[in-house]
């Protein structure tokens, strides 16, 4: 598989450190609100990368953190008169409600900053003992001048960066590009004891610490939104590599933005839709399908209209699934001579799907292949086909949609029973020559998207 690596600015063949295993870290949410559609993009896309790697036989250890200590969380806690921990606990719970509905698999570990304070302190102490970190009145800074490779991810050199940077009045650092590792406690903030007095970790240090704690000093894939490239990921590299002397992550993968009117959707701009709000209008599988319909690096303009298009696209896939289930329920016989070629052709769709996914996770083209497969099935497999070919088509459809984790809702049996009952009533009406009632029932079923077919074996039904 090829992946676009921000570190080298090119698509590269993915080769894991340890054969058959992938160690992957994704920067998770800061938990002070429901997450928005923009935040959902990395969660969905990197979940898909993980699922695809697993499909290809890798054992993936996937770590996604929760930032549960942060200015925004503290502000929210103070506004609401509750503790930071209460704010974080609430939104971590809500994160899982939405993530589950988006079909995002739970990470192997979902570490929180507050569970890693000792590890963070030890990490900073190590940097300090190596002379790479320095303390000023209870704050500890990373000395960027001591790390030669600073700027290698965002391809900026430190002198240029310094020209654009300013030191805030509240900061006491030596150089403009130095960044905080530990902040001394201020009034109304949570704090932990440390060699530098009571305080809390800066933002960047948490990911270096959690990645090394759960995955080791060098990991395979580090991922996040494009906005994290600088300074967050640049600083993660500086911290981790200065401490270990080894490369931190081999592949850096960044997703593009979800925009509103060509502007990045973000909480601070107020131009956002939370996934929770969208869930009131759409099944969240539609949002997953919408995300997968674009390549993860391309910018995407979000609109209600786009979601509606995704909804009808997904509906077409469900119809194809229902049709195949109908054919399987009613089919019989093994592969006919003339179907052998069809079966081979089914495998070609799988090959094309894999080719696209192997090309830097091109889910957009992979979905087009699934639609081609559906068209192929609809034109070549019907009531006259053998059960075996219908089953093979169904298995292929399930395999490819399964990799993307879409179209996996099971049919609602209660609804099926209701439909069967209405069909029975219609049969009785016909027998009693009450054609008006029979037609009414048929029309009502049609409104529900159910098509009746009179066959020699009796009345059969399918969804449109």
Ligand X SMILES: Nc1ncnc2c1ncn2[C@@H]1O[C@H](COP(=O)(O)OP(=O)(O)OP(=O)(O)O)[C@@H](O)[C@H]1O
Contact mark string toward ligand X, 16..55, x via CB under 6 A:
-----------x-xx-------xx-xx-------------
What minimum distance in Å lies between the beta carbon of 27 and Zn ion?
3
Among positions 16, 199, 202, 225, the unique one binding ligand X when judged by CB under 6 A:
225
Among positions 266, 309, 378, 434, the unique one binding ligand X when judged by CB under 6 A:
266
Please, which of residues 24-63 interact with Zn ion by CB under 5 A?
Answer: 27
The C-alpha atoms of residue 174 and residue 152 are separated, in whole angstroms, by 21
Asked whether residue 27 is marked as a ligand-binding residue, the answer is yes
**Cis upstream peptide for 231 (omega within 30°):** yes
Among positions 228, 284, 286, 389, the unique one binding ligand X when judged by CB under 6 A:
228
**Long-range pairs for 164-167: beta carbons < 8 A, 24 or more residues apart:** none
In DSSP terms, 258 is beta-bridged to 300
Give the torsion through C-alpha atoms of 290, 292, 296, 300, to 10 deg.
-20
Please, which of residues 190-249 interact with Zn ion by CB under 5 A?
Answer: 207
Residue 22 CB-half CA count within 13 A: 25
Contact partner at residue 225 from Zn ion, ligand X, none, CB < 5 to 8 Å by partner kind? ligand X
- Token pair, residue 187, equals 């009034």
Contact mark string toward ligand X, 234..263, x via CB under 6 A:
---------------------x-xx-----
What minimum distance in Å lies between the beta carbon of 181 and ligand X?
19
Query: Counting contacts by CB under 5 A, is residue 324 touching Zn ion?
Result: no
Q: How many residues bind Zn ion (CB under 5 A)?
A: 2
Contact partner at residue 207 from Zn ion, ligand X, none, CB < 5 to 8 Å by partner kind? Zn ion
Q: CB within 8 A of 215, min separation 6: which ones?
A: 23, 24, 25, 61, 63
DSSP state of 227: G
Asked whether residue 173 is marked as a ligand-binding residue, the answer is no
CB atoms inside a 10 Å sphere around CB 192 = 16
Contact partner at residue 41 from ligand X, Zn ion, none, CB < 5 to 8 Å by partner kind? ligand X
DSSP state of 274: B
Asked whether residue 267 is marked as a ligand-binding residue, the answer is yes
What minimum distance in Å lies between the beta carbon of 242 and Zn ion?
16
Contact 211, 63 (CB under 8 A): yes
- Position with the least CB separation from ligand X: 225
Coil/strand/helix, residue 426: helix
In DSSP terms, 24 is beta-bridged to 62, 221
Residues at the binding site for ATP are 267
Site for Zn ion, rule CB under 5 A = 27, 207
Residues that bind ligand X (CB under 6 A): 27, 29-30, 38-39, 41-42, 224-225, 227-228, 255, 257-258, 264-268
């Amino acid at each position: 598989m090829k992946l676009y690596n921000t570190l080298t600015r090119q698509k590269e063949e993915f080769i894991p450190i340890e054969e058959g295993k992938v160690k992957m870290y994704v920067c998770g949410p800061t938990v002070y609100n429901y997450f928005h559609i923009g935040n959902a993009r990395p969660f969905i896309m990197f979940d898909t990368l993980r699922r695809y790697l697993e499909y290809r036989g890798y054992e993936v250890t996937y770590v996604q953190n929760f930032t549960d200590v942060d200015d925004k969380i503290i502000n929210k806690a103070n506004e609401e008169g509750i503790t930071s921990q209460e704010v974080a606990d609430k939104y971590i719970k809500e994160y899982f409600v939405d993530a589950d509905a988006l079909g995002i698999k739970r990470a192997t570990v979902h570490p929180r900053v507050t569970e890693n304070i000792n590890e963070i302190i030890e990490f900073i102490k190590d940097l300090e003992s190596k002379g790479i970190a320095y303390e000023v009145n209870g704050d500890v800074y990373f000395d960027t001048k001591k790390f030669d490779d600073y700027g290698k991810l965002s391809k900026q050199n430190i002198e240029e960066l310094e020209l654009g940077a300013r030191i805030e009045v509240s900061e006491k650092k030596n150089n403009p590009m130095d960044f905080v590792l530990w902040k001394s406690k201020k009034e109304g903030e949570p704090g932990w004891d440390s060699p530098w007095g009571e305080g809390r970790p800066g933002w960047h240090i948490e990911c270096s610490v959690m990645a090394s704690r759960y995955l080791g000093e060098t990991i395979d894939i580090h991922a996040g939104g494009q906005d994290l490239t600088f300074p967050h990921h640049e600083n993660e590299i500086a911290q981790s590599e200065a401490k270990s002397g080894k490369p931190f992550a081999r592949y850096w993968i960044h997703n593009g933005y979800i925009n509103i009117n060509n502007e990045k959707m973000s909480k601070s701009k107020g131009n956002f839709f939370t996934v929770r709000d969208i869930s009131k209008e759409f099944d969240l599988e539609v949002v997953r399908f919408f995300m997968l319909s674009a390549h993860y690096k391309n910018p995407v303009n979000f609109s209600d209209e786009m979601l509606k298009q995704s909804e009808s696209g997904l509906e077409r896939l469900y119809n194809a699934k229902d049709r195949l289930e109908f054919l399987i329920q009613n089919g019989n016989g093994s592969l006919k001579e003339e179907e052998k070629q069809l079966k081979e052709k089914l495998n070609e769709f799988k090959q094309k799907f894999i080719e696209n996914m192997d090309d830097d996770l091109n889910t957009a083209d992979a979905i087009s292949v699934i639609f081609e497969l559906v068209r192929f099935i609809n034109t070549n497999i019907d009531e006259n086909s053998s059960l075996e070919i219908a089953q093979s088509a169904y298995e292929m459809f399930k395999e490819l949609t399964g990799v993307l984790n879409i179209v996996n809702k099971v049919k609602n049996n209660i609804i099926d029973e209701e439909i069967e009952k209405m069909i029975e009533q219609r049969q009785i009406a016909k027998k009693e020559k009450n054609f008006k009632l029979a037609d009414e029932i048929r029309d009502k079923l049609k409104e529900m998207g159910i098509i009746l077919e009179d066959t020699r074996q009796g009345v059969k039904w399918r969804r449109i």
